[in-house]
Amino acid sequence: MSTPVVASPTGFDLPTAQKRAILSMVCLGFGALFIGIINGLGQALNYASVDILQYFPGMRDYYQGLTVHGVVNAIVFTFAFANGFLALTTSRALARPLNATWLWVVFGLMVAGTLLAGYAMATGQASVLYTFYPPLMAHWSFYLGLALLVVSTWVTTALIFIALRSWRKENQGERIPLLAFISAATYLMWTVASVGIAISVVGLLLPWSLGLIESSDPLLSRTLFWYSGHPIVYFWLLPAYVSWYVMVPRHAGGTLFSDSLTRVVFVMFILLSIPTGFHHQYTDPGIGTGMKALHGALTFGVFFPSMVTAFTVLYALEIGGRRRGGTGLANWFLKLDWKNPALVAQVLAMLTFTLGGITGLINASYNLNQAIHNTAWVPGHFHMTVGSAVTMSFMGIAYWLIPYLTGRQLVGRGMAVLQSWIYFAGVLVMARGLISGGIDGMPRRTNMLEAAYSKPSWELAGMLTGLGGTLMFVGGMLFFAVFAATLFFGKKTDEPMDLPLTTTHHPPKTRGWEVKLDRFRYWLVAMLILIAVAYGPFLVQYLPAAFESPPYQFY
């Protein structure tokens, strides 16, 4: 038997019932994003001293909206898309159906979670932002809703690994198809990572909000949050990486450079995503500088897989551009298929991610972090990562995924391409505003319109934020127009469709150390050891926890 290239070579079409479940997840995700983007416009304009939030029905204050923006964008949208997309890629790569009932369970958990958290946020009983640091207390349904959203990802993990196990039984001694390997790696990482948030939410905050526990330990909950809160950014990112590694080369007409290198990158994310959470707590009292430095150094380790990704992606694009007649140092870039919306969205996403990565490196830089921590710089940074690199990639994926799942052709290709450019321009302008304001001390998470203080030099920063945010909003709305038109009015085709899958320049090895890359068990053990090293000393020193902080509802 030959070893598959990136996915089972026999071809495989998902049964209709499963396509429906996955389509429902993707629609839930983009539905959440729709609400999130409307709120985003309100926030960006608020920084420009324009108050449109007052016209939002039921909106009590800025922070209620900001909570919604964070939760629906960073949690509901990303989780729903990842659950659907990576269930699909696993199933396709292994050429086996998943359990349709359980796929619907995943969807149901997400709907229930979104409704519960949504109820608390909409009624103004959970204006605690998406980080929900105690002792600010939200309504119990907020915590329960978040817990169900996390559980939905665990069920997806189970689905993925059950499929992988049965595949292995039938294909002993073979390499796991690359696409399945990187999908499973993403969920393995996140499942171990999400334990922190789960302990905090289910073990401490939910009973606390129900009155079963009287007090909280803010530093402990904050630490548990960031134990999950850094790796969550890779859980947002890795589904986009799956596409960048395995699908974008196909769109571009290029090829994936190396199977082994790709697996190494994902293994490094398994190992290095979690033991780095203190880089979000550099300025916290209560945590020793030695541990902060250790987490900082490990964070820099992620620089390596990031640069490998840059190399691999550039390789694929350059090969594609040259095969299309590109020459010289940069002309190949212009020769890419700039009419293919799936490609355009993701190439632009990669460009913003370059800036997102550089600003992220600055955030991670230990004492340099003090210059920008909790200033507007930070949302400037992450709208170039999750807010555009990830979001635009998911939009780009949707341009082939919705046709694949519905059997309908994409409506409005031209508008889809335009949409990406507008969103791209918007995020660059908004980030320029937020970043320059942040360097100048302008805070994040702040209702600037009603703030008791200001600086004249923040005015330009605020205006750019508002202008860029408006462009992003327009780009986003054009996306939803294409999305809805395709869903409802796209022309039905009977042509069989498949996922856009690349071939590999250096295919998987069947002998040598590379074979061991497939042993998830090893990586799980190594990951747990690193976590123990990174968090053990702190916990030993810190525990037993001091549950002394009474709850507050200052909103």
Partner 1 sequence: MADSQHPLDAERIEKVFLIITAVMLLTFLGALFYSAFGMGMHLPDREEQIDVREVRDTPPFDEPGVRQVGDNEYEVVLLGYAWAFQPREIRVPAGAKVTFIATTTDVIHGVHIEGTRMNFMLIPGQVARVEGTFREPGEHLMICHEYCGAGHHIMYGRVIVE
User: How many residues in the chain?
Assistant: 555
Catalytic hit among 227, 382, 394, 535? 382
CB of 78 to ligand HEM, least distance (A): 6
Residues 6+ apart with CB under 8 A from 331: 321
Q: Does an H or E element contain 257, and which? A: strand 256-258
Is 60 designated active site? no
Is 234 designated active site? yes
Decide: 429 and 472 in contact? Cβ < 8 Å: no
Is 139 designated active site? no
Q: Does an H or E element contain 239, and which? A: helix 231-246
297 is a site residue for partner 1 (CB under 8 A): yes
**How far is the C-alpha of 471 from the C-alpha of 427, rounded, in Å?**
8
**How far is the C-alpha of 177 from the C-alpha of 9, rounded, in Å?**
10
441 is a site residue for partner 1 (CB under 8 A): yes
263 is a site residue for ligand HEM (CB under 6 A): no
Q: In this complex, which beta carbon is closest to partner 1, that of residue 102 or of residue 555?
A: 555
Q: What is the DSSP string of 498-527?
A: ------EEEPPPSSSGGGGGG-HHHHHHHH
Interacting stretch for Cu ion, rule CB under 5 A, among 228-236, 316-324, 423-431, 468-476?
A: 228-236
56 is a site residue for partner 1 (CB under 8 A): no
# of chain residues touching partner 1 (CB under 8 A): 72
**How far is the C-alpha of 344 from the C-alpha of 393, rounded, in Å?**
9
Q: In 3D, which of 81, 130, 16 has the Cα closest to residue 240?
A: 81
**How far is the C-alpha of 12 from the C-alpha of 161, rounded, in Å?**
19
Pick one of Cu ion, ligand HEM, partner 1, none as the site partner of residue 374 (Cβ within 5 to 8 A by kind): partner 1
Map the footprint of ligand HEM across residues 5-64, applying CB under 6 A: 36-37, 40-41, 43-44, 47
Map the footprint of partner 1 across residues 442-461, applying CB under 8 A: 443-448, 450-453, 455
Is 445 designated active site? yes
Pick one of ligand HEM, partner 1, Cu ion, none as the site partner of residue 453 (Cβ within 5 to 8 A by kind): partner 1
Is 230 designated active site? yes
Catalytic hit among 383, 404, 479, 538? 383
Interacting stretch for partner 1, rule CB under 8 A, among 88-96, 191-199, 294-302, 508-516?
A: 294-302
Decide: 341 and 410 in contact? Cβ < 8 Å: yes
Pick one of partner 1, ligand HEM, Cu ion, none as the site partner of residue 77 (Cβ within 5 to 8 A by kind): ligand HEM
**How far is the C-alpha of 75 from the C-alpha of 116, rounded, in Å?**
14
Catalytic hit among 175, 230, 263, 408? 230
Q: In this complex, which beta carbon is closest to partner 1, that of residue 254 or of residue 412?
A: 254
Q: In 3D, which of 437, 439, 432 has the Cα closest to residue 456?
A: 437
Q: What is the DSSP string of 154-213?
A: HHHHHHHHHHHHHHHHHTTTPPPPHHHHHHHHHHHHHHHHTHHHHIIIIIIIHHHHTTSS
Pick one of ligand HEM, partner 1, Cu ion, none as the site partner of residue 230 (Cβ within 5 to 8 A by kind): Cu ion
- The angle subtended at Cα 313 by Cα 309 and Cα 316, nearest 5°, is 145
Q: What binding mask, one character per residue, do residues 303-322 give for ligand HEM by CB under 6 A, x or -?
A: --------------------
Catalytic hit among 444, 473, 483, 535? 444
Location of structure tokens 């949302």: 379
Pick one of ligand HEM, partner 1, Cu ion, none as the site partner of residue 130 (Cβ within 5 to 8 A by kind): ligand HEM
Pick the binder of partner 1 from 104, 133, 421, 480 (CB under 8 A): 133
- The angle subtended at Cα 524 by Cα 519 and Cα 525, nearest 5°, is 105
Residue 383 tokens, joined: 């709208």
Q: What binding mask, one character per residue, do residues 347-376 give for partner 1 by CB under 8 A, x or -?
A: --------------x---xxxxxxx-xxx-
Catalytic hit among 60, 445, 505, 506? 445
Q: In this complex, which beta carbon is closest to partner 1, that of residue 3 or of residue 549?
A: 549
CB atoms inside a 10 Å sphere around CB 248: 30
**How far is the C-alpha of 249 from the C-alpha of 254, rounded, in Å?**
5
CB of 43 to partner 1, least distance (A): 13
CB atoms inside a 10 Å sphere around CB 373: 17
Work out whether the CA dihedral 449, 455, 458, 460 comes out positive or negative.
Answer: positive
Map the footprint of partner 1 across residues 231-290, applying CB under 8 A: 255, 257, 281-289
Map the footprint of ligand HEM across residues 391-420, applying CB under 6 A: 391
Pick one of Cu ion, partner 1, ligand HEM, none as the site partner of residue 253 (Cβ within 5 to 8 A by kind): none
CB of 93 to Cu ion, least distance (A): 29
CB of 381 to Cu ion, least distance (A): 10
CA dihedral 375, 379, 381, 384 (to 10 degrees): -160
230 is a site residue for Cu ion (CB under 5 A): yes
Pick one of ligand HEM, partner 1, Cu ion, none as the site partner of residue 239 (Cβ within 5 to 8 A by kind): none
Map the footprint of ligand HEM across residues 445-474, applying CB under 6 A: 445-446, 465, 469, 472-473
Pick the binder of ligand HEM from 444, 479, 486, 501 (CB under 6 A): 444
Catalytic residue numbers read 230, 234, 381-383, 444-445
